[in-house]
Amino acid sequence: MSSDTMVGTLSSDLFEKQLSEEIRYCILLNGKIVDCNYYGHLLIEEYGDILFDHVLEYDQKSLYSFIKEISGTHKVIERVFNQRIKGETHKVRYRGMLDIHNHILISGYIEKTVEITRYTFPETMKTIFNELQFMFILIDHDNQVLFSSDQYINIVKTYEKENKCKHPFGEVIRNMACIMRLNKINIERYHYLEDKLYHIYGIYHQEVNHISFTFNEIEKTEEFEKLIQYKQQMESVSQLAAGFAHELRNPLSVIRGFIQLSTLTNSMDKYYRTILSEIDRMNTILDDFLSLSRKSTKKKGSIPQTIFKSIMPLIHSECLLRNILLKCDIEPSAREINLDESMIKQVLLNILRNSVEAFEEEQENKTFIVQGKTSENAYTLIITDNGPGMEQTVLDQLGKPFFTTKANGTGIGLPMCKKIIKDHHGTFIINSNLGEGTEIIIKLPFI
């Protein structure tokens, strides 16, 4: 890239390194740098021509929304990002705007050098952590490992040797660290490694921007159902089991919505029945969980449009409250499917809740589409949102129980949906494109 190719709107004298220490780029919506000044060029040599690779990993999502925000307005937008420059982490203040040719112009200057005092883990603490039952690691602001206990090193080495592949905890740790730094919170996750399940607890040390993780191996469990039961048994009475709370959250949010609606419209009568039936559903869920008898579902032959149309008012009210446009097109069919109505309802509400949680607040024209189509042997539901979609790394992990990218997620919504559809001898497929949206295709065979 030479100054000859620079976009005309970037005044050439600003590129003179003597005049300005600012970094200047002209980029496309996907972050590709198509033009830059001298300092920008130096950074491209080091980090490549995709701007996302220039900032630290936990800032990439925020850079994505920064670029999106710029592309939707003609105002100057400003934000600070953590960026590696010549081996050191700097806070770089970016200002960006759209020019008349719809190029995204970005300038950045180093605000303040982040003090990097390399922390050394005290020797006495190392001895203690090496003696403990659980594995432990401590990472710094840049996700560099400051200390890892012997047990941790052994497991990682054994795994890498046997499988000849990448770090067994790398992905989950990076994912957790990103959420923890963004929200400045502690979080926990469950993680499968072959047939072992680990409970990982991350503590965020805000003063130094370090994170420590402890890993506890949970006894070998073969099926997801057993995991949920195990989780329930493990939680104390005062803490509701994650799965249990999860199932109750859907009817609760519907009840909340309807009570809000009834105050808005000043009529309780209209919503009274739905609220009562949702409370009954909570009771059923409670019974189900208390007896832990989720295997025996109550399926019966039903015409698809009757079931799906009866669910639509709930979805409609949820969308109304959250400013989401609902489009619904359920093709009638004369043939029946064998299904458990309450379970299928759970699936749809879980999918809707994921879409609701995925939409960014500032997005306009949020849309949720439910289509039902008949084919020769099955009834197909296609559920689409035009939210932010998912990255390939997220898509790759979707089937795994407990995989979540949310600070408060439990990561059992989609595995539960998949399991329910499998119990109905159906198929469940997720397609998603980053920046475009997500599509879920559920196929349920006719009787």
Which parts of this chain interact with ligand ATP (CB under 6 A)? 246, 354-355, 358, 385, 387-390, 394, 398, 403-406, 409-414, 438
Contact of residue 274 among Mg ion, ligand ATP, none (CB under 5-8 Å per partner type): none
The residue to which tokens 């496309």 are assigned: 28
CA dihedral sign of residues 407, 412, 216, 236: positive
Beta bridge partner(s), residue 365: none
Q: Which is nearer to ligand ATP, 248 or 394 (CB)?
A: 394
Binding mask 408-437 for Mg ion (x = CB under 5 A): -----x------------------------
Contact of residue 412 among Mg ion, ligand ATP, none (CB under 5-8 Å per partner type): ligand ATP
- Which residue minimizes CB distance to Mg ion? 413
Minimum separation from the CB atom of position 289 to ligand ATP (A): 15
CB-based burial, 223-259: b 16+ in 10 Å, e otherwise: ebeebbbebbeeeeeeeebbbbebbbebbebbbebbe
Task: Give the separation between CA 336 and CA 340, rounded to whole angstroms.
Answer: 12
Minimum separation from the CB atom of position 327 to ligand ATP (A): 16
Q: Which is nearer to ligand ATP, 265 or 408 (CB)?
A: 408
Q: Which is nearer to ligand ATP, 271 or 403 (CB)?
A: 403
Q: Which is nearer to Mg ion, 82 or 354 (CB)?
A: 354
Task: Give the separation between CA 202 and CA 85, rounded to whole angstroms.
Answer: 28
Contact of residue 37 among Mg ion, ligand ATP, none (CB under 5-8 Å per partner type): none
Residues in 248-307 at the binding interface with Mg ion, rule: CB under 5 A: none
50: nearest Cα among 66, 34, 39, 65: 34
Minimum separation from the CB atom of position 365 to ligand ATP (A): 16
Contact of residue 404 among ligand ATP, Mg ion, none (CB under 5-8 Å per partner type): ligand ATP
Q: Which is nearer to ligand ATP, 84 or 249 (CB)?
A: 249
Contact between 119 and 140 under an 8 Å Cβ cutoff? The reply is: yes
Contact of residue 218 among ligand ATP, Mg ion, none (CB under 5-8 Å per partner type): none
Task: Give the separation between CA 422 and CA 157, rounded to whole angstroms.
Answer: 37
Beta bridge partner(s), residue 369: 327, 384
Minimum separation from the CB atom of position 139 to Mg ion (A): 27
- The percent helix, strand, coil of the chain (3-state, each to 5) is 40, 25, 30
Q: Which is nearer to Mg ion, 333 or 354 (CB)?
A: 354
Task: Give the separation between CA 201 and CA 11, rounded to whole angstroms.
Answer: 51
Residue 446 CB contacts under 8 Å (≥ 6 apart), including other chains: 333, 335, 336, 337, 377, 378, 379
Q: Which helix (H) or strand (E) holds 405?
A: none
Q: Which is nearer to ligand ATP, 37 or 410 (CB)?
A: 410
Q: Which is nearer to ligand ATP, 50 or 394 (CB)?
A: 394
Task: Give the separation between CA 429 and CA 362, rounded to whole angstroms.
Answer: 28
Contact between 15 and 3 under an 8 Å Cβ cutoff? The reply is: yes
Minimum separation from the CB atom of position 62 to ligand ATP (A): 16
- Which residue minimizes CB distance to ligand ATP? 413
Minimum separation from the CB atom of position 246 to ligand ATP (A): 5
Minimum separation from the CB atom of position 69 to ligand ATP (A): 19
DSSP states along 148-217: E-HHHHHHHHHHHHHH-SS-TTHHHHHHHHHHHHHHT--EEEEEEETTEEEEEEEEEETTTTEEEEEEEE
Minimum separation from the CB atom of position 362 to Mg ion (A): 21
Minimum separation from the CB atom of position 356 to ligand ATP (A): 9
Contact of residue 251 among Mg ion, ligand ATP, none (CB under 5-8 Å per partner type): none
Task: Give the separation between CA 68 and CA 30, rounded to whole angstroms.
Answer: 9
Q: Which is nearer to Mg ion, 257 or 409 (CB)?
A: 409
Q: Which is nearer to Mg ion, 82 or 355 (CB)?
A: 355
Task: Give the separation between CA 251 and CA 281, rounded to whole angstroms.
Answer: 7
Contact of residue 83 among ligand ATP, Mg ion, none (CB under 5-8 Å per partner type): none
- Contact between 354 and Mg ion by CB under 5 A: the answer reads yes
Minimum separation from the CB atom of position 353 to Mg ion (A): 6
Task: Give the separation between CA 408 and CA 402, rounded to whole angstroms.
Answer: 12
**Which residues bind to Mg ion, rule: CB under 5 A?**
354, 413
